[in-house]
Amino acid sequence: MQYRSTRGLSDLVGFQDAALAGLASDGGLFVPEVIPRLDLEALEGLSYPEVAWRVMSPFCDIPTRDLQSLCFSAYGPEYGGEVAPLRADPWGHVLELFHGPTYSFKDVALQFLGRLLNYILEKRQDHCNLLVATSGDTGSAALRSVVGCSRLRAVVMFPKGRVSPLQELQMTTMGYPNTHCLEIDGTFDDCQAILKQLNRDADWKRQHRLGAVNSVNWARLLAQSVYYVWTWLQLGQPLQVVVPTGNFGNFLSAWLAHRMGVPTRRLALATNENDIVHRYFQTRRYARGGVHQTLAPAMDIQVASNLERFFYLAGGGHQVTDWMAQFEQSGSLDTPLLDVGGPEIVSGSANRGQILQAIRQYFQETGTVLCPHTAVAWYVSRQLPPIGPGVLVATAHPGKFPEAVGEALGINYPGHPGLEALRDRPRQVVALPAQPEAVRRWMEGLTSLG
């Protein structure tokens, strides 16, 4: 399988190069030349890791045996046999994706991606430094993804005093020889600007083997599409899911499952007040707004990078190059109706009051607590015209967000016990000013891995 850039200006590459590069050299995102149809019957009755390698195999230039063992390792002991359980509720099912080591859906992709990159680098006798900017949630999943991976190191930059105390604890107590935390004296935007600036220096990037594991990485989306195939296999009914999404990665993974042949009735996307993708699907106008700080902070995003992949794959093709140039210049873009003939795509958003209300109401009606991101999705699902039982995608454990849950329920809600247990662990963190030069110098001081 070959991959091309959505902007069409860089060479075709294989899966392994696409996974290592993250972003294409012309600034576009990698997409597969074709999306193969799955043999769904052959997947019936299989375990999650078995489904994972069979779904991903046509997309990967990796020998079957090796891909199998990567999947069994990613979805083995760390998950204790429950990668993506479906729990019944009065409205259908909840797909719980927070049973990984850092209690969020990001683990599902990153536990695989870390092992995959390590495997590729082992073959190439090379190594990689994954430099990550985080507003809180991605950081711990990225750090955890390199544990046991001798060819990888993860360096996470987080903004000082602007991540939740539990998130900070989760990152700074990780403490493995190949995991590092940088507390940047600035905002999340400063962390991202540092990341972008260091990535722009192509020679330095190559010399210091910089890699990326955010959701622009194709392999991450592919690993996420597996849980939608899995959901269909468990329920045996056309997919009808409500997906909390920010960067459009989680939603695009559901749409990919449909393109692989999973029968799909309706795909609903749910955003918080940062509703750029909701507005896009209402109007077909993609227009940047200001970023709002919300109770569902992992979705506080105003540029939904993965929408570019949807534009390309849903019919935009190479027009996307001009579209993205226009968006980057003017901050807005009008597209024709895309994905004509595909499943119904609907959308909605929830504000602060609605998130709190959703956590409260769901708890009153079911006795189960939702995280604020999942609460966004449940709120949106209640606003949509009912078409029968659906699947709510639960992306984080509520115990990661005790302040929001406590406020909604009017109680002192405890953090996840696994997080509370970290309070006594030693913390390792390096404080740096919000200057690219400071991070550059610190990275240059790292010892070689390979």
Return all residues near 158 (Cβ < 8 A) that are at least 6 apart.
133, 134, 135, 136, 139, 167, 168, 171, 181, 182, 183, 184, 188, 191
Cβ 298 to ligand PLP shortest distance, Å? 3
Asked whether position 255 contacts ligand PLP by CB under 6 A, the answer is no
Instruction: Give the burial string for 8-31 (b: 16+ CB within 10 Å, else e).
Output: eebeebebbebbbbbbbeebbbbb
Q: What share of the chain is helix, strand, coil (3-state, %, to 5)?
A: 45, 20, 35
Distance between CA atoms of residues 349 and 242, nearest Å: 12
Q: Which of 100, 249, 402, 415 binds ligand PLP (CB under 6 A)?
A: 249
Range in contact with ligand PLP (rule: CB under 6 A) among 87-95, 241-249, 418-426, 431-439? 241-249
Asked whether position 369 contacts ligand PLP by CB under 6 A, the answer is no
Q: Which of 106, 196, 205, 400 is catalytic?
A: 106
Distance between CA atoms of residues 97 and 395, nearest Å: 5
Q: Which of 170, 178, 225, 250 binds ligand PLP (CB under 6 A)?
A: 250
Tokens 């209300």 identify what position?
357
Asked whether position 111 contacts ligand PLP by CB under 6 A, the answer is no
Q: What is the dihedral of CA 256, 262, 263, 268, to 10 degrees?
A: -40
How many residues touch ligand PLP (CB under 6 A)?
Answer: 17
Residues 188-207 close enough to bind ligand PLP by CB under 6 A? none
160 counts as catalytic: no
Q: Print the binding letters for residues 393-412 with ligand PLP: x by CB under 6 A, - otherwise.
A: --xx----------------
Cβ 60 to ligand PLP shortest distance, Å? 21
Residues 88-107 close enough to bind ligand PLP by CB under 6 A? 104, 106
Asked whether position 373 contacts ligand PLP by CB under 6 A, the answer is yes
Residue placing its CB nearer to ligand PLP in the complex, 108 or 121: 108
Instruction: Report helix, strand or coil for 129.
Output: strand
Range in contact with ligand PLP (rule: CB under 6 A) among 50-58, 79-87, 155-163, 249-257? 249-257
Q: Which of 110, 295, 298, 359 binds ligand PLP (CB under 6 A)?
A: 298
Cβ 275 to ligand PLP shortest distance, Å? 13
Residue placing its CB nearer to ligand PLP in the complex, 210 or 299: 299
Cβ 291 to ligand PLP shortest distance, Å? 13
Asked whether position 381 contacts ligand PLP by CB under 6 A, the answer is no
> With the C-alpha atoms ordered 229, 233, 239, 242, is the resulting torsion angle positive or negative?
negative
Cβ atoms within 10 Å of 371's Cβ, excluding its own: 27
Q: Enter the tokens of residue 165.
A: 């105390």
Query: Which H or E element spans position 155?
Result: strand 152-159
46, amino acid identity: L
Asked whether position 137 contacts ligand PLP by CB under 6 A, the answer is yes
Instruction: Tell me the backbone φ, ψ of residue 294, rounded to 5 degrees.
Output: -130, 180
Q: Which of 295, 299, 314, 380 binds ligand PLP (CB under 6 A)?
A: 299
Distance between CA atoms of residues 236 and 449, nearest Å: 46
Tokens 């993205």 identify what position?
324
Asked whether position 349 contacts ligand PLP by CB under 6 A, the answer is no
Q: Enter the tokens of residue 93.
A: 């099912």
Q: Enter the tokens of residue 228.
A: 């939608």
Residue placing its CB nearer to ligand PLP in the complex, 10 or 302: 302
Q: Which of 129, 179, 245, 349 binds ligand PLP (CB under 6 A)?
A: 245
Residue placing its CB nearer to ligand PLP in the complex, 272 or 321: 272
What residues act catalytically? 106
Which residues would be at the binding site for ligand PLP (CB under 6 A)? 104, 106, 137, 215, 244-251, 298-299, 373, 395-396
